Structure 1
Amino acid sequence: MQRTQRSLPVRLARANPTTIFLVTLVLVLVGLFAPGVVGGALLLALAAAGVALLLTTWPVQSPATRVIRLVMLTLLVTVALAKLL
């Protein structure tokens, strides 16, 4: 049986970084400006996607990149929890 789909890391590597950045920026801004629970939930969903991406790409990341991503995810979760309270 031959695989017809590419693996996830290969598909992620081929994604356009500018598009991903802009989509993420829009989602963060919507989450920050949306009222209360809606904004917090959107930011937490974005953080969950970031954690999934971090876990998927962990073996190929440099230690400096890992630290930056962990700091950014921590900040995102902190802001999301602050919006929920």
Structure 2
Amino acid sequence: MQRTQHRLARRLARANPTAVFLVTLVVVLVALFTPGVIGGLLTLALAAVVAALVVTTGASQPTRLRVVRLLVLTLLITVGLVKLL
């Protein structure tokens, strides 16, 4: 693992799971209920964050969890692109 990834992994491990969940929930709800281009861009931004997390933490996760994360990522990208159209 690269040095920057190690630092990021330690930072993620220290984050309060409840706070992370609530912030993510708010961002998802705002992105899904905001119409048009802004909602699509917010959804795609959230997908970019999820993609970064999948890349950063993917090797240490079990296969089932990686598959679920990839499905969520695919769903976010699809919703974001549909909202942009």
Q: TM-score, normalised by structure 1?
A: 0.89
Q: Show the 5 A alignment for 1:57-68.
A: 57-68=57-68
Listed as ranges, the gaps of 5+ residues in structure 2 are: 1-5
Give per-residue Cα distances to partners, 1:52-76, cap 9 Å, x unaligned.
1110001111101100000011111
Larger radius of gyration: 1
Letter of the 1:71 partner, please give it.
Answer: L
How far 1:30 sits from its partner (Å)?
Answer: 0.4
- Tell me the secondary structure at the aligned position of residue 15 of structure 2: coil
Question: What is the identity, as a one-letter code, of the residue corresponding to 2:78?
Answer: T
> 2: CA distance between counterparts of 1:14 and 1:59?
19
Alignment partner of 1:78 is 2:82: no
Match of 2:55, SS?
helix
What is the aligned partner in structure 2 of residue 44 from structure 1?
Answer: 44
Equivalent residue for 2:33? 33
- What's the Cα RMSD here? 1.1
Q: Which amino acid in the other structure matches residue 15 of structure 1?
A: A
Partner in structure 1 of residue 3 of structure 2: none
CA distance in 2, matches of 1:68, 1:84: 24
Compute the TM-score of the two structures, normalised by the length of structure 2.
0.89
- Whichever residue aligns with residue 21 of structure 1, its letter is F
Query: How many residues align structurally?
Result: 80
**Matches of 2:73 and 2:8, distance apart in 1:** 21
